[in-house]
Amino acid sequence: GRVRVPTNFVTTISDDRGDEPRFAGKPISDVMEKAGGIGDIVSLLWFKRTLPTWATKFLEMVLMLCADHGPCVSGAHNAIVAARAGKDLVSCVASGMLTIGPRFGGAVDGAARNFLRGKDENIPPFDFVEQAKKAGIRLPGIGHRIKSVDNPDKRVELLIDYARKNFPSTDYLNYALEVEKITTAKSGNLILNVDGTIAALFLDVMKASKMFSPAEVKQVTSIGYLNGLFLLSRTIGLVGHALDQYRLNQPLYRHQQTDVLFVNEEIGYVDEQ
Ligand code: ACO
Ligand code: LMR
């Protein structure tokens, strides 16, 4: 028989041999004919399946709504400072991206794991919040620096509205909103934030589409798929901010000394040298 030389690489998502590239086994001409948008491409290359249209449209909403949130957030700030230091586009975007993590934009996977456990183990929302408090953990997907009950996050409202109208069920979202009732009773800014909303709704996508085994659900919430959605989306804004700074020909940024509290550990606050 034929003997295959052992390979150093294994891949399961795409293939560029033959006449045309294939995404998850599908020739791209087929993909282009059938795909409604970028959600279908994410669906094939990340999830290796064709998700239903109500789900790919949800992915697209996430990608559109999270593309930017102004110049003051961690990622944009870093990209802007890097651009003003004369760095190239890739470096500026990388600098911004590197801020995406458990506090900023990268709480989606953690929130999904938590809501999955809370809902599936029937943990009453009050106990869910108390358990985190006892463990000294900030609930991923809850809380925002400037958004609150009195200043709601439009992105969250739009995602919820879409899901209510288009998802077959929203059990995880409902659970997350019960959790939000408990946390916002403590403080108005402890809302279900955009990361938490994406997390709960993607759990609903997996459950309602019936296309994910329990093992796959576990995997999706543990290896970075969902933070990847924020990362992909926010890259659009990061590129935009770097280009904006180049266009504006902005000088090197140096932070105002008056905005820094200079403290000498021995003598305390130092007003002037
Ligand atoms: N769960 C439980 N309690 C919380 C949470 C939370 N997620 N967030 C804040 N609190 C409570 C804490 O008790 C805190 O008191 P402490 O200082 O004694 O710990 C109190 O609220 C005050 O918190 P703030 O310092 O005002 O919160 P801050 O504005 O610094 O934090 C942040 C905002 C970073 C988003 C925070 O809420 C958090 O860590 N959330 C979890 C991570 C998360 O979901 N990040 C994504 C945000 S959305 C995005 O980036 C696109
Ligand atoms: C964002 O999308 O960047 C935010 O929700 C974070 C923020 O502080 O506004």
169-224 residue pLDDT tens: 999 999 999 999 999 999 999 999 999 999 999 999 999 999 999 999 999 999 99
CA–CA distance, 82 with 159 (Å, rounded to integer): 32
pTM, two decimal places: 0.95
- Long-range (24+ apart) CB contacts under 8 A made by 94-103 are 96/234, 96/238, 96/241, 97/231, 97/234, 97/235, 97/238, 99/74, 99/75, 100/74, 100/75, 100/227, 100/230, 100/231, 100/234, 102/140, 103/74
- The answer to whether the CB of 144 is under 6 A from ligand 1 is yes
CA–CA distance, 144 with 78 (Å, rounded to integer): 19
Q: Which residue from 236, 247, 133 is spatially nearest to 179, judged by alpha carbons? A: 133
Name the residue at shortest CA distance from atom 29 of ligand 1.
145
Atom of ligand 2 nearest to the CA of 145: 8
The pLDDT of residue 173: 98
209-268 residue pLDDT tens: 999 999 999 999 999 999 999 999 999 999 999 999 999 999 999 999 999 999 988 877
Atom of ligand 2 nearest to the CA of 104: 6
The pLDDT of residue 146: 97
The pLDDT of residue 267: 75
CA–CA distance, 89 with 83 (Å, rounded to integer): 7
11-59 residue pLDDT tens: 999 999 999 999 999 999 999 999 789 999 999 999 999 999 999 999 9
Q: Do the Cβ atoms of 76 and 96 come closer than 8 Å?
A: yes
The pLDDT of residue 187: 98
- The answer to whether the CB of 193 is under 6 A from ligand 1 is yes
What are the tokens at 51? 């998700």
Ligand 1: residue of 73, 114, 138 to mutate (most ligand atoms within 8 A of CB) is: 138
**pLDDT tier at 273, thresholds 50, 70, 90:** low
Angle at 267 between CA 266 and CA 268, to 5 degrees: 100
CA–CA distance, 194 with 105 (Å, rounded to integer): 8
CA–CA distance, 256 with 252 (Å, rounded to integer): 13
CA–CA distance, 207 with 172 (Å, rounded to integer): 9
Ligand 2: residue of 65, 73, 229 to mutate (most ligand atoms within 8 A of CB) is: 73
H-state helical runs in 87-190: 89-97, 108-120, 125-134, 154-166, 171-186
The pLDDT of residue 79: 98
Mean pLDDT, range 61-68, rounded to an integer: 98
Average pLDDT, the chain: 96
DSSP character string of 181-235: HHHHHH-TT--B-HHHHHHHHHHHHHHHHT---HHHHHHHTTSSHHHHHHHHHHH
Name the residue at shortest CA distance from atom 24 of ligand 1.
145
- CA 10 to ligand 1 centroid distance, Å: 40
SS3 label, residue 268: strand
Which comes out higher in pLDDT, residue 4 or 207? 207
